[in-house]
Structure 1
């Protein structure tokens, strides 16, 4: 017999609310539920009609990413079937379109929310470009901030604008809404071009090198989030010490914050009645032709890295064979 719920909200039974969320969370499951409920009017628009992957964590177990909804998912949770080429199967993704679904996910200990860049009804278009600023291991958030400012300058120079948020981990995300006439391929090309332009502004800070050994302590301007990729939503918690949140920050405030400023405990009071992400996101923009032309000429990072890795392996093997001879 199922245990009696601690409480019920919007028809969702909530259980074990006083359990610790995870080691180092400085939060209980109740804090997660309360936070997501408090921000549901802000985060649900970021998730609505987008196939959703979530990061869950069960007591005493490592975190895991869930794409396929479990068999016990209530029938009122909307889903969409998506063919996964890598695994050669259909994946049933949830669509978190309302408060009730969000609360159900929270009760499942879903901490992180990663929607796709495209909507379920328009698989041939992404709605925004994503530039992910990832500082090197052991470096500070301030390095990612400096790289984000380079991205902002690159955007300004080509007549575009974007909004910025902490990733909730150690990096920064710059989001650039685009019009729906841009193909997936051109959106990816534009992202590569903007990343390359940011790197050129100050190559001592930023790099587009996909292979880690080639970054030499610089911030990686990751331009590979395109097509069917996901990015953690604004306002999503993270499975990080303190249960930090991916939080919108004004460009002028970016240098004066740290990721630990924004947690499930502190974020609601900082937000008040505002929705800074909705306020800061620019309207969808046309991508200038020169940006598209430049990006089309830049190889896809993962493909280029794969070929370079194979080339280096052959070179090492040849050198080893030479020494053996």
Structure 2
């Protein structure tokens, strides 16, 4: 017999108390591992309530993609871009445009009650867009994912992150860092909402290429995995429309229920990411606070990073590959694995030549 549903009380819009129904509260979402006990739906909602204040700072007023599961993390996984059925009357949505030109509403999570309701709907990881609901075309955050290839230790990622911090600071940005909940690191910077996605992406490419010049044996901007070797990939495409990263304080769909946790730059490298889980992070937050609390108080201009892109254009460097779900873009390299590319089948603009 299924566990009896329980009713949670949470803060809704304008601080009003709202009731959220939680079915199957003892259902296991993350099975137990050698590193910790299982996480049930009740455990997850208790975690979300404990971190709601800082987590909502990264979610509120943004379109959010929900990474959901059926049957826990070992069951079916899927992403919800359309709001799930039964969105509470107190919640809201915002219209977003996708790379294909398709438009539809996407859920905005402004309050604890909506956050808990999404957990009831099987959400395990929350993915906010880098835009605000009032202007869904101009990012207010630069986001860079440092993705280590097999063979790299976390200490190598820390070295790359510190190098990226230096490049971003020289470009006039204020970088903030968090663990990914996996093997990498995410670096963010708040920016004024002046440039649209493609321009911000070009600014990020400028930063990535400058980091690659400084640390050529450690990092790479190579889109194709066969060209990366053991280097750390600087994922410039996280600045592209409809590409998102796990929210700060969000659990990840990985064994042990790890969490993506903001750190100070001094803390980076001093704490093992695997130790930051749904079970331990509430205590970590209570002890250390949220280093991202005031991140958006004084956003920066992205001009310095964009100047790096323009300087590379003068050097003869051009566009880099877009994700495969994007339309073919002007100047984009051929969308074919380099080892399978036949030169005479492609023109100078990266378009296939029909024989």
Q: After TM superposition, is the score higher than 0.5?
A: yes
Aligned residue in 1 for 2:61 = 49
Aligned residue in 1 for 2:336 = 309
1:164 aligns to what SS in structure 2? strand
Residues in 1 aligned to 2:102 and 2:169: alpha-carbon distance in whole angstroms: 42
Change (3 A) 1:314 1:191: closer
Residues in 2 aligned to 1:248 and 1:316: alpha-carbon distance in whole angstroms: 45
Aligned residue in 2 for 1:21 = 29
In terms of mean alpha carbon deviation, does 151-160 or 122-131 score higher?
A: 151-160
- How far 1:160 sits from its partner (Å)? 2.6
Aligned residue in 2 for 1:271 = 285
Residues in 2 aligned to 1:224 and 1:112: alpha-carbon distance in whole angstroms: 20
Judge conservation of contact 1:147–1:221 (CA < 8 Å) in 2.
no
- How far 1:290 sits from its partner (Å)? 2.8
- How far 1:184 sits from its partner (Å)? 2.9
Aligned residue in 1 for 2:326 = none
- How far 1:283 sits from its partner (Å)? 2.6
Residues in 1 aligned to 2:102 and 2:295: alpha-carbon distance in whole angstroms: 38
Judge conservation of contact 1:191–1:295 (CA < 8 Å) in 2.
no
- How far 1:231 sits from its partner (Å)? 1.8
Counterpart mapping for 1:149-160 below 5 A: 149-160=162-173
- How far 1:195 sits from its partner (Å)? 0.6
Residues in 1 aligned to 2:116 and 2:276: alpha-carbon distance in whole angstroms: 21
Change (3 A) 1:85 1:268: same
Judge conservation of contact 2:151–2:230 (CA < 8 Å) in 1.
no
User: Structure 1 residue 215 and structure 2 residue 215: aligned?
Assistant: no
Residues in 2 aligned to 1:126 and 1:295: alpha-carbon distance in whole angstroms: 23
Residue by residue, what CA displacement relative to the aligned partner does 1:61-83 show, whole Å, maximum 9, x if unpaired?
22211111223222322112334
User: Would you say how many aligned residue pairs link Structure 1 and Structure 2?
Assistant: 316
Counterpart mapping for 1:154-169 below 5 A: 154-169=167-182
Residue by residue, what CA displacement relative to the aligned partner does 1:168-226 show, whole Å, maximum 9, x if unpaired?
12110000111222343321111001111111111110001111000011000111122
User: Structure 1 residue 124 and structure 2 residue 137: aligned?
Assistant: yes
Change (3 A) 1:248 1:19: same
Judge conservation of contact 2:321–2:335 (CA < 8 Å) in 1.
no
**Unpaired segments of 5 or more residues in structure 2?**
11-18, 323-328, 346-355
Judge conservation of contact 1:192–1:295 (CA < 8 Å) in 2.
no
Judge conservation of contact 2:96–2:136 (CA < 8 Å) in 1.
no
- How far 1:156 sits from its partner (Å)? 2.7
Change (3 A) 1:105 1:55: same
Aligned residue in 2 for 1:97 = 110
1:242 to 238, 247, 256: 256
**Unpaired segments of 5 or more residues in structure 1?**
319-325
TM-score by length of 1: 0.88
Aligned residue in 2 for 1:322 = none
In terms of mean alpha carbon deviation, does 303-312 or 143-152 score higher?
A: 303-312
Aligned residue in 1 for 2:188 = 175
Judge conservation of contact 1:51–1:119 (CA < 8 Å) in 2.
yes
Judge conservation of contact 2:144–2:239 (CA < 8 Å) in 1.
no
Judge conservation of contact 2:62–2:132 (CA < 8 Å) in 1.
yes
Judge conservation of contact 2:28–2:41 (CA < 8 Å) in 1.
yes
TM-score by length of 2: 0.81
Change (3 A) 1:141 1:280: farther
2:147 to 108, 131, 134: 134
Aligned residues: CA RMSD:
2.6
Residues in 2 aligned to 1:291 and 1:12: alpha-carbon distance in whole angstroms: 49
